[in-house]
Amino acid sequence: MPASVRREDMTRLKRRVKDISRRMGANLVGIASVERWEQYKMTEEDFYPQNIWEWSKRVIVLGVQIFLPMLETTPSVVYSELYNTTNRLLDDIAYKTANFLNQNGFRAFFFPRDCYGDISVLVKKPEAAFSQVIAGYFAGLGTIGANHTLLTPEYGPRVRLVSVITDAALKPDPMIKKDICIRCGRCISNCPQSCFTARDDRVAAEMDKHRCAAYHEKLKREYRYPCGLCTAVCPVGEDRQIYGASSISEKGIGHVQSFGSKISVGEYSYIHL
């Protein structure tokens, strides 16, 4: 950190980082201190940011929303296009936020939102070098649900994330302590591959990530990747209040899924709420 940066300057810098990223399209912005990885021990130590980049002090987590009416057509090319759009947006916001911090004299870069070469790699090893979900939890954006996603008050699990890692000692945001997941089980019962097994002793269900990745490999070949049904059906989130139980009719889902990807008429997925 430049020696000349005072506490009040850091308060101003935090405000500017949040303003800039929001103006570029981020719906959610939260800041975590790297000490939270040590405090909560939710991953192996090799995954702590400070054990990979020793100078890192903060992780700025940026989120963009996934529009419910598009997600509810999944698996479809409509949702594929949205997924690609959120990826482009996240890349831009993260790059420019890190660049802004660099130009103010701080170390900063972004850890990309997905970070795998091909879905076939995930089938063999379904994990990333850095968890955006855990970072989002530590940054105060939400809590982790039964479906292993970050559940936010605003969008439930319908948010995509990216993280900027920096040595700028911005004030961390408070974490959300009360679980947002209401354990309704809809994500579990609607998974087309039965990837989840509920557990009584903790919120997050047991998840067969290999099976989920293998299904995604099939969907990708059919140009209607990713799945995301376990996020589409979640009743949590202010966006759900806007659209109600469903934003599209079953007939409408069938119609959308019948175009633009490799799927036979009649072979489409319903959402069972």
Dist. CA 243–CA 234, nearest whole Å = 12
Shortest distance, position 192 Cβ to ligand SF4, whole Å: 6
Q: Using the rule CB under 6 A, which residue among 66, 150, 168, 187 binds ligand SF4?
A: 187
Q: Which of 32, 162, 236, 253 forms a contact with ligand SF4 (CB under 6 A)?
A: 236
Residue 184 within binding range of ligand SF4, rule CB under 6 A: yes
Q: How far apart are the first and last CA of the chain?
A: 50
- Pick the piece of the chain touching ligand SF4 (CB under 6 A) from 26-34, 91-99, 144-152, 252-260: 144-152
Strand 58-65 versus strand 159-166 pairing type: antiparallel
Q: CA 215, CA 40: separation in Å to the nearest integer?
A: 32
Matching residue, tokens 């557990």: 199
Q: Which amino acid is at 24?
A: M
- Pick the binder of ligand SF4 from 36, 158, 160, 186 (CB under 6 A): 186
170/167 Cα distance (integer angstroms): 9
Of 10, 20, 182, 214, the one binding ligand SF4 (CB under 6 A) is 182
Task: Mark the segment that binds ligand SF4 (CB under 6 A) among 55-63, 117-125, 183-191, 255-263.
Answer: 183-191
- The reply to whether 234 sits near ligand SF4 by the rule CB under 6 A is yes
Closest Cα to residue 247, out of 100, 73, 90?
Answer: 73
Q: Is 68 a residue that touches ligand SF4 (CB under 6 A)?
A: no
Answer left, alpha or beta for residue 92, where phi above 0 means left and psi between -120 and 50 means alpha: alpha
Q: Which is nearer to ligand SF4, 107 or 211 (CB)?
A: 211
Q: Provide the 10 A C-beta neighbour count for residue 113.
A: 21
Binding segment (CB under 6 A) for ligand SF4, from list 4-12, 112-120, 139-147, 262-270: 139-147
CB of 224: closest distance to ligand SF4 in angstroms? Answer: 12
Spatial separation of the C-alpha atoms in residues 226 and 235, rounded to whole Å? 20
Number of residues that bind ligand SF4 (CB under 6 A): 24
